[in-house]
Structure 1
Amino acid sequence: MHITTRRPDTLQGPAEHFTGTVWLDEIAAPESPSRLRMFSVHFAPGAHTAWHRHPHGQVLHVLEGEGLVQREGGDVAAIRAGDTVWIEPGERHWHGAAPGTFMTHLAVVEAAEDGSTVEWHEHVDHYPA
């Protein structure tokens, strides 16, 4: 067993991967052989990710606020505090806060053999207003 009492500093989401103000807190990144990674992600109103995909999929659990999520070719779906979203391995998608509210979610992923957890793509060009 290992108890973490200090976490890395909060980081601002880089502009090449996010639109708007986003803050990232690493919650878990255990040593090998574990490949689990967990983050608490805080989106300002209207802030969202660029299109991206995860090699082993992703679980999002909304802690507060309201957000939006969309997979490529699908409709934009509203998500709220208490909702959990399973994104399939390799499924291209984006997610973020609804235009008028903050949203915080836990994001859980499993790293690939090479240690990568995400493949980033272009910014979303049709974010709902």
Structure 2
Amino acid sequence: MELEPVSPTAKAPAANFTGDVYVNPLHPPREPSRLIASLVRFTPGARTNWHSHALGQTLHCIDGVGLVGTRDGSVIRMRPGDTVWTPPGEEHWHGATEGNVMCHYALLEGTAAGDGTTWLEPVTEEQYRAADEA
């Protein structure tokens, strides 16, 4: 058994996010496990770029109101206690609504080559507004 040290909060890279997003890594992959866990905080209107995960991703909302959108236009509005699964390879984005912060745990399984995330283009304002109004 081991107590994990508290990791410092880092601002998420602007190359993959719109707005102010802050990340606290909770668990790096450690053999034989490939679990990656982070606590992610989004300010109102902040969001990820489109992206996918080689082995899928689980998001568990713990505060605020968030959105998860997919390429087919499906949108899930998540609130504290909600858990959303995005299957392997599904292009999606997630973030806070325009009027609320959102905080979630992001859980995924890494691959031999890293975290298995493929980052894509930013979510447009039009795509974001349509999701937030849905």
The reply to whether TM is greater than 0.5 is yes
My pick for the range that moved more, 23-32 or 99-108, is: 23-32
**Partner amino acid for 1:45?**
P
The equivalent residue for 1:127 is 128
Equivalent residues in 2 for 1:1-129 (5 A)? 1-4=1-4, 6-125=5-124, 126-128=127-129
For residues 67-107 of structure 1, give each alpha carbon's deviation from its aligned partner in whole angstroms, at most 9, with x where no partner exists: 11111113222111110000001110000000000000000
Structure 1 position 10, deviation (Å) = 0.8
Task: Percent identity, please.
Answer: 44
In 2, the alpha carbon distance for the partners of 1:7 and 1:36 equals 17
Please give the alpha-carbon distance, in whole angstroms, between the structure 2 residues aligned to 1:64 and 1:40: 11
Q: Is there any run of 5+ residues in structure 2 with no aligned partner, and where? A: none
Give ranges in structure 1 of 5+ residues lacking alignment: none
Whole-Å separation in 1 of the counterparts to 2:111 and 2:34: 7
Could you list the runs of 4 or more consecutive aligned residues of structure 1 that deviate by over 6 angstroms after TM superposition?
A: none
Aligned counterparts of 1:55 and 1:30: Cα–Cα separation in 2: 15
Secondary structure, aligned partner of 2:65: strand
Q: Which moved more, 1:33-42 or 1:108-117?
A: 108-117
Q: Distance in 1 between matches of 2:120 and 2:104?
A: 21
TM-score of the superposed pair, with normalisation by structure 2: 0.91
Moved more, 25-34 or 51-60: 25-34
Deviation at 1:30, TM superposition (A): 4.1
Task: Report the RMSD for the aligned CA atoms in angstroms.
Answer: 1.2
Q: Which has the higher helix share?
A: 2
